[in-house]
Structures are given as C-alpha cells and as structure tokens.
C-alpha cells in the first residue's frame, strides 16, 4: 500500500510489440488527421485563413506521421501533439469562444452570431467546392457533413495526443528501466 500510482506505472513495462502497435496506431491516426485537413483545404471556397490552417495542419500531420513511422521522437510524437492538439483546440475554440469562428472564417464578428435555426455551429452551411455544405465531393471525399466531421476530428486528434503522451512516458520509463 505504500507505493504510489507513479511507482506502480513505472514497474509496468510495455513489450516491443506493444510499442510497435502504438506506433502504427499513431501513424493511422495522423493519416486520418492529415486526410481530413487536406480534404477540407481542397473543398473549401472563399475563406482565406481557415483553408491555410487546414493545409498547414494537413502537411504537419503528414510530417509527424513520417516521424512516428521512423520512430523519431521529436519530429513524430511531439510535433504530432502540436499539430493534433492545436487543431483540436482551434476547433473547440471556434465552437465555444465568440468571435474565434468569425476570425478564422474571415467574417465580420457580427456574422458569427448564432442563428437559432442553425444552432451554435460556426461551420454550418460553409460553402464548399462543387456545391453543398459537406458530404461527398469530387476532390477528396469528406464522407459526412462538415459539423459531424469537425466533432469526429476533435475526438481523433485528442486520441492521438493521449496516445502520444502515453507512448512518450512509457518509452522513457522503459528506457530508464532497461539501463538498470
């Protein structure tokens, strides 16, 4: 009973197969993050800042994915935390902080007021290339409407952040324990 939770966790070790499974899970999650952001970039119309943020995050997620694939700690996991965590924070801010959605979408702040018929989603009825406000597109399919995609991507991005922190903590502990 004298051991605290950190000591219990430190005594646990992850097998090399476990680290491989976590790495491939990270690669798959980052691929999904990159796909979503690049698809959004290619399908957005008329906005200036938001599509550029999608492009930066999509390319950043691809770079982080390659880093995780080659087991580069900083380039893969930590850069992936910055890309995925930053995207999740930005999306959450768009939905919760007044004016952030207007800023990112290039609208005057008065246009970001919630419309009772539209809900509180700043991305509702966003004009997309080839018409529509989400769904299948000819450039890269989004597979769903843009608000559902935003919620799913927040969950996926936060899942990567948790996986990356878990991986980094346990790989550090296993490296320290292997030196004993």
- What pLDDT sits at residue 72? 84
- What pLDDT sits at residue 116? 40
- What pLDDT sits at residue 74? 83
The percentage of residues in the chain with a pLDDT greater than 70, rounded to a whole number, is 65
The percentage of residues in the chain with a pLDDT greater than 90, rounded to a whole number, is 28
51 or 33: which leads in pLDDT: 33
Least confident of 34-48, 88-102, 133-147: 133-147
Burial of residue 73 (CB within 10 Å: 0-12, 13-18, 19+) is middle
- What pLDDT sits at residue 109? 52
* Residues 56 and 86 sit within 8 Å (Cβ to Cβ): no
Question: How much is the mean pLDDT over the chain?
Answer: 75
Q: What is the pLDDT of residues 136-157, one digit of tens each?
A: 444 566 666 777 887 888 899 9
- What pLDDT sits at residue 26? 94
Residue 15 has pLDDT above 70, yes or no: yes
C-alpha span between 7 and 29 (Å, rounded): 30
Residue 111 has pLDDT above 80, yes or no: no
74 or 127: which leads in pLDDT: 74
């Amino acid at each position: 009973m004298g051991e605290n939770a950190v000591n219990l966790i430190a005594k646990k070790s992850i097998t090399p197969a476990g680290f491989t499974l976590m790495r491939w899970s990270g690669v798959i999650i980052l691929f999904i993050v990159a796909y979503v952001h690049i698809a959004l970039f290619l399908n957005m119309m008329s906005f200036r800042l938001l599509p550029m943020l999608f492009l930066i995050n999509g390319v950043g997620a691809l770079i982080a994915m390659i880093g995780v694939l080659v087991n580069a700690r900083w380039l893969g996991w930590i850069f992936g935390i910055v890309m995925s965590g930053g995207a999740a924070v930005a999306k959450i801010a768009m939905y919760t902080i007044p004016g952030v959605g207007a800023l990112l979408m290039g609208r005057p702040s008065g246009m970001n007021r919630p419309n009772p018929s539209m809900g509180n989603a700043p991305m509702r009825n966003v004009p997309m290339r080839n018409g529509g406000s989400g769904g299948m597109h000819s450039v890269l399919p989004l597979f769903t409407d843009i608000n559902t995609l935003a919620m799913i991507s927040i969950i996926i991005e936060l899942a990567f952040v948790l996986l990356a922190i878990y991986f980094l903590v346990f790989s550090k502990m296993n490296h320290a324990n292997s030196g004993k």
